[in-house]
Amino acid sequence: MNKLVSIIVPCYNHAEFLDEALQSVLNQTYENWECIVVNDGSPDNTKEVAAKWCERDKRFQYLEKKNGGLSSARNAGITISKGEYILPLDADDILDESFLSIMVPELNQDQTLAIVSCYSKFFYKHKENIIHELKPVGTTYHALLFENSLIATSLYRKICWEEVGGYDENMKNGFEDWEFWIAITKSGWTYKVIEEFLFNYRKQKQSMLIDTLENHRVSNMAYVFNKHKEVYLKHHDNTIDYLLYLLKNNEEFTSKLKNSNTYKIAKLIAKPFNLFNK
């Protein structure tokens, strides 16, 4: 079955990488796709870059909207999409040319599957400069409760997006894909991980993911736990064990930091300033 796949590419200040991302779409050996580039109020030249691709191939489309964040941009693109399957793709990442050819048949053959994901390579600056490899595991929401191992660029059924009301647009500081996967799978849908490296994630010194992990991890986790409270209460013991594990790790990290020479030197240097403030 040659299902239409809608590839949604939100873009905000990533015009410099957009050509490479869209070239990886054009290179797909599976040809029945549409690609919607969503300009989320980007101040750079996203519009000009996207226009070039729309002229090159009619399967590319362009949508411009007021800045509203990643969830809002994805929802806007999916709303006008015509595909039965959806693939989010960030504007700075790269698909393997066989991505759709391998993924689509999996959803075609198993009606219990909501999501199909894969192994990923994280690269810095150049695709060949691999700095990390991600190999997700699991098939049900149980494997997603405390850590999001699925990449955002996973293929899923549009009906699932409709069932959960799309991506949560309140989550403007990351983890929106993690919440989205939990929302889908907690109702009984399953996912599958293809044990092949079919996706390339661009690692940058400054990115939304880095900002999220450094500044918003705890608040995002609290939001997800509260939104899906019934699931975490159902797995109360595991939830408590996980939170205690995080607390223990934090205490060990703090202890090591305070005993480090760097901390002691910094404390010594700051002592005169602390006395002055008093």
Q: Give, as one character, the DSSP assignment of residue 186.
A: T
> How confident is the model over 260-270, as a mean pLDDT?
52
* Tally of CA atoms within 13 A in the half-sphere of 2 that contains its CB: 6
| Cα separation, 267 vs 275, whole angstroms | 12
Confidence (pLDDT) at 178: 96
Indicate whether 276 pLDDT > 70.
no
Confidence (pLDDT) at 86: 98
What is the residue extent of each domain of the chain? 5-208, 236-277
| Sign of the alpha-carbon torsion through 75, 80, 84, 90 | negative
* Inter-residue contact 67 to 40 (CB < 8 Å): yes
> Tens of pLDDT along 105-164?
999 999 999 999 999 999 998 889 999 999 999 999 999 999 888 999 999 999 999 999
Q: How many CB atoms lie within 10 A of CB 180?
A: 26
Average pLDDT, the chain: 89
| Cα separation, 215 vs 217, whole angstroms | 6
> Tens of pLDDT along 45-96?
999 999 999 999 999 999 999 999 999 999 999 999 999 999 999 999 999 9
Per the CATH hierarchy, to which homologous superfamily does domain 5-208 belong?
A: Spore Coat Polysaccharide Biosynthesis Protein SpsA; Chain A (3.90.550.10)
Query: Is 196 strand, coil or helix?
Result: strand
Phi/psi of residue 153, nearest 5 degrees: -85, 70
Give the lowest-confidence range in 20-29, 50-59, 229-238.
229-238
- Give the confidence band of 260 by pLDDT, cuts at 50, 70, 90: low
Confidence (pLDDT) at 238: 77
